[in-house]
């Protein structure tokens, strides 16, 4: 597609429910990032994929958070047993270059419009 | 945790005026990037400045970087109402695009 597409744009979940957020990166983009943005704050890194490999998941806040990108294109961020503190906008970003090629800061990230999760 | 801080947190100006936003950070960096976010939308990359650069221009944008002070500034000249948005600086310590964002400056440009 022309840009990074995320769905759903808005999700309301009851505390304890599981949610799945989808990201369609720009076709051919090797790198995919997930960020979490709390209200009034800047995004915070969650995890990084290079193709289907999850190379960095150091930002995932707990083991309730799980991300996958099985075929190296579409990615899903899953949150199990949601809590109120999980309420945030979840942003996906992709980049044409791989992590190794990104060394030296050669590429920009293209962000989707985010999925806003509200946990009641 | 977030790397740095933007200053001011909010800025309100009239069309035609210049807007200056500052960013401070804590660790050494490979590069620093500025992003813009309209309300309820995703982030849009504006400009990247490498650690060995001191100033960079792109259209009405001017970015400076002072690595000795661990600070950067974004200047938007001749602002327009359409520039109303939040502006974030993001540091890239390792050069792998694992960005660390500040909390942003909310800019309002009034017609």
Of B44, B95, B102, which is closest to A103 when you measure between CB atoms?
B95
Query: According to the model, what pLDDT value does residue B6 have?
Result: 84
> Is A110 in Cβ contact with B45 (below 8 Å)?
yes
Phi-psi region of A114 (alpha: psi -120 to 50; beta: other; left: phi over 0): left
Q: In whole angstroms, give the CA distance from residue A113 to residue A19.
A: 18
Longest dimension (CA), chain B: 41
* Size (chain B), residues: 111
- Write down the pLDDT at residue B29: 86
Q: Supply the mean pLDDT for chain A.
A: 91
Determine the residue of chain B that is closest to A6 in CA distance: B42
Find chain B residues with C-beta within 8 A of A4's C-beta.
42
**Contact in structure between A69 and A56 (CB atoms under 8 Å):** no
Q: What is residue A1's predicted lDDT score, i.e. its pLDDT?
A: 53
**Dihedral angle, C-alpha A88, A59, A42, A101, nearest 10 °:** -130
**Cβ contacts (< 8 Å) between A110 and chain B: which residues?**
45
d(CA A101, CA A97): 6
% residues pLDDT > 90 (chain A): 83
Residue A104 has pLDDT above 60, yes or no: no
CA distance A12 to A54: 27
Rounded to an integer, the average pLDDT of A20-32 is: 95
pLDDT per residue over B4-38, tens digit each? 678 899 999 999 999 999 999 998 888 889 999 99
- Mean pLDDT value across chain B: 91
Contact B101 A111 (CB under 8 A): no
Distance separating alpha carbons of residues A90 and A113, to the nearest angstrom: 9
Average of per-residue pLDDT across B85-92: 93
pLDDT band with cut points at 50, 70 and 90 for residue B43 = very high
B1 pLDDT above the threshold of 50: no
Q: Are residues B104 and A41, on separate chains, in Cβ contact within 8 Å?
A: yes
Q: What is the DSSP letter of B60?
A: T
* Percent share of chain A, pLDDT over 70: 92
Q: What is the pLDDT of residues A45-102, one digit of tens each?
A: 999 999 999 999 999 999 999 999 999 999 999 999 999 999 999 999 998 877 666 5
For A100, phi and psi rounded to 5 degrees?
A: -65, -40
DSSP secondary structure, A12-34, as one string: EE-TT--EEEEEEPPTT--EEEE
> Which of A72-76, A105-109, B12-16, B72-76 has the weakest average pLDDT?
A105-109
Q: Tell me what percent of the residues of chain B surpass a pLDDT of 90.
A: 72
């Amino acid at each position: 597609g022309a840009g990074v597409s995320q769905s759903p744009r808005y999700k309301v979940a009851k505390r304890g429910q599981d949610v799945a957020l989808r990201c369609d990166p720009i076709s051919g983009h090797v790198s995919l990032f997930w960020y979490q943005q709390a209200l009034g704050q800047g995004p915070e890194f969650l995890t990084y994929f290079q193709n289907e490999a999850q190379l960095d998941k150091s930002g995932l806040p707990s083991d309730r958070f799980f991300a996958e990108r099985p075929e190296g294109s579409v990615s899903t961020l899953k949150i199990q047993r949601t809590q109120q503190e999980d309420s945030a906008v979840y942003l996906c970003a992709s980049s044409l270059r791989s992590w190794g090629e990104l060394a030296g800061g050669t590429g920009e990230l293209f962000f989707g419009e985010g999925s806003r999760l509200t946990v009641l | 945790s977030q790397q740095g801080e933007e200053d001011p947190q909010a800025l309100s100006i009239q069309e035609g005026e210049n807007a200056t936003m500052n960013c401070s950070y804590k660790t050494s960096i490979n590069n620093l990037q500025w992003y813009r976010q309209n309300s309820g939308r995703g982030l849009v990359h504006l400009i990247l400045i490498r650690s060995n650069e001191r100033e960079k221009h792109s259209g009405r944008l001017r970015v400076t970087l002072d690595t000795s002070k661990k600070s950067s500034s974004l200047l938007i000249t001749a602002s327009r109402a359409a520039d109303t948005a939040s502006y974030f600086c993001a540091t890239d310590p390792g050069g792998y695009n694992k960005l660390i964002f500040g909390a942003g400056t909310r800019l309002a440009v009034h017609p």
